[in-house]
Amino acid sequence: MISGKFILILGAAATLTAGGCGSTDLKKARIESAANTEAILVNQAGYLPGAEKVALLRADAGTFEVIDAATGKTVFESTPADPLYWELSGDTVRAADFSPLKAEGTYRICLGDSETCSAPFRIGNDVYHEITVASVKSYYLNRSAIEISEESGGKWARPAGHPDTAVIVHSSAASAGRPAGTVISSPGGWYDAGDYNKYIVNSSITSYTLLLFYQMFPEYCRTLNLNIPESGNEIPDLVDELLWNLKWYLTMQDPADGGVYHKLTNLNFCGFVMPHEATDPRYVVMKSTAATLDFAAFTAMASRILANDPSEELRALAATCLEASGKAMKWAEANPGILYRQPADVSTGAYGDDNLSDELFWAKAETALAYGTAPAEGFLEGINAVTPSWNQSATLGLISLALSTGEPFASLREEAAGLIVSYTDELLQKSAACPYRISLDHFAWGSTSDVANQAMLKIIAMKLTGSGRFLPSIQSDIDWLLGTNPTGYCFVTGFGTLSPMHIHHRPSGADGVPEPVPGFLVGGPNIVVMNDCQPPVERSPFPARSYSDVECSYSTNEIAINWNAPLVFLLGAIDSMRP
């Protein structure tokens, strides 16, 4: 079982103060001072009372103080740790540990005897609940083919876009039963990212992660009220949201042969207009082995998880998923090497992948679990746990095997769990050596999702081992995402003192609402593409700091469904641990 208690690492020089100190003028100045996100980095959402609490200082200070944000009184003071330089961020930070402070309230951290203070933050049992709800509800606000009502969407209400009831079979996807130009219906699903297209490979890992969260935290999921149209039925809102995508997902399989179309898309990306104004023809494009294997894997997993659900609707859907999975596996076995290649007249996201060994392993693992028949000895040979992504899916199969309960899978379960725990222990070593206390040592496109996925693996390792040794590192991952990072941004829209306002997301850019759709995790810093804006905007050459809050920066400020899924898992898991 995952413990609901956080491990505290207490600083020897820490002092809790009862009455506060300092002059009246200094207290007033601190209360009124602007948040200095250059000098002091904090988790801008806040901390659970029992959690490890560490801010990072980028200024010389012999001491730091935690003050009550309303009164200016000092409630805690201590000495920061030694300065540490990080070559990936180009700066030096000092850890300011205030873990002993557990009293609920709103606070700021100030450098000793100065008016330099952090963004305000809360300590409380509910600090992650609202942001968890928003991170899940972002999927509703990114739905295709449905009106977002004012009742459920508030200021982000909008007309329905892309009904996708008249989708054209592209020449690359033509078959005997569905020649080029055939019109099919494929409604529903979520817009994949900042664009209006829908992609099977990215949808697969997204759906897996959300369903895994339901598998591991079913009671918590039943408590989440998202205020979506389906709220109040017998199915948890998170699962209702997942169903909106799953029902579309199933339409992407050719019923004649079981192959799965790689994507549903316009031929080209449209401009920044609202969904209902983007009316170019839509196509299903090419069947690929990667999409079909991912489809086979996720539908097998869904059949297994939903087969014994209390909901009769979900139990019936489980049977549909298992049948679809079987057809997809047969197609993939007959077509093992059909790699996605972008047709000449299509320029939307490719999600191309030339190595299908991880997809094949994931699909074989999930179908074996779904049918209850363990693979032959040596099934895990050559398989290692890595941080999962849309094109690195083997770890998903390891997770499913490690969490399995059937007796035929006992030896595989133990071996898979060992691989996951070994990898997460390596991640702990990396976070212990990093001045910013995270495990990430390479900044790819969507770096924030790598941090969230690594935190998810640590939570799973905690479940497998029953050990709380992963919790401080998990907390540091949360802190990074919510403000304790070199940019000073809370990377989740709608939350924090410094939050992305100009995300690369068509509805947010075209709806006339100043604030972006809330609950989205932006991609975050990296130096993969430095010229995504024309004319270029100023970017740091250091990968951990190279981020721009501008709409044109698709490489750092776009959103994506697969990036939000581990954020949901991470925040929801920690929120579920509150007393």
Contact 454, 512 (CB under 8 A): no
- Tell me how far apart the alpha carbons of residues 20 and 27 are, in angstroms, rounded to a whole number: 10
Q: Is it the case that residue 164 has pLDDT exceeding 80?
A: yes
Is 504 one of the catalytic residues?
yes
Q: Can you give the pLDDT at residue 20?
A: 46
Provide the β-strand partners of residue 190.
143
Planar angle of CA 561, 564, 566, nearest 5 degrees: 120
Provide the β-strand partners of residue 167.
184
Q: Can you give the pLDDT at residue 283?
A: 98
- Helical segments of 172-259, H only: 200-216, 218-223, 237-251
Question: Which pair of structure tokens corresponds to residue 9?
Answer: 């690492």
Q: Is it the case that residue 115 has pLDDT exceeding 90?
A: yes
Q: Is it the case that residue 14 has pLDDT exceeding 70?
A: no
Which one is catalytic: 77, 450, 558, 575? 558
Render pLDDT for 360-403 as a digit per residue (tens, 0 to 9). 999 999 999 999 999 999 999 999 999 999 999 999 999 999 99
Q: Can you give the pLDDT at residue 134?
A: 98
Contact 170, 264 (CB under 8 A): no
Q: Is it the case that residue 11 has pLDDT exceeding 60?
A: no
Quickly state the pLDDT bin for 579 (edges 50, 70, 90). confident
Is 558 one of the catalytic residues?
yes
Mean pLDDT of 495-501: 98
Please state, rounded to an integer, the average pLDDT across all residues of the chain: 95
Quickly state the pLDDT bin for 17 (edges 50, 70, 90). low
Q: Can you give the pLDDT at residue 578?
A: 86
Which one is catalytic: 162, 170, 262, 504? 504
Render pLDDT for 30-71 as a digit per residue (tens, 0 to 9). 999 999 999 999 999 999 999 999 999 999 999 999 999 999
pTM, two decimals, is 0.96
What lies within 8 Å, CB to CB, of 146 at 6+ separation is: 160, 188, 229, 244
Q: Which CATH number fits domain 129-486+560-576: 1.50.10.10, 1.10.3720.10, 2.60.40.650, 3.40.50.300?
A: 1.50.10.10
Render pLDDT for 148-162 as a digit per residue (tens, 0 to 9). 999 999 999 999 999
Mean pLDDT of 70-92: 98
Render pLDDT for 289-333 as a digit per residue (tens, 0 to 9). 999 999 999 999 999 999 999 999 999 999 999 999 999 999 999
Is 195 one of the catalytic residues?
yes
Domain spans in the chain, listed from the N-terminal domain onward: 15-123, 129-486+560-576
Strand, helix or coil for residue 122: strand
Which fold, 15-123? Immunoglobulin-like (2.60.40)
Q: Is it the case that residue 173 has pLDDT exceeding 70?
A: yes
Contact 509, 551 (CB under 8 A): yes
Which one is catalytic: 195, 254, 532, 551? 195
Mean pLDDT of 500-519: 98
Render pLDDT for 261-275 as a digit per residue (tens, 0 to 9). 999 999 999 999 999
CA atoms within 13 A on the CB side of 526: 24
Mean pLDDT of 242-263: 98
| CA nearest to 103, candidates 86, 120, 131, 125 | 125
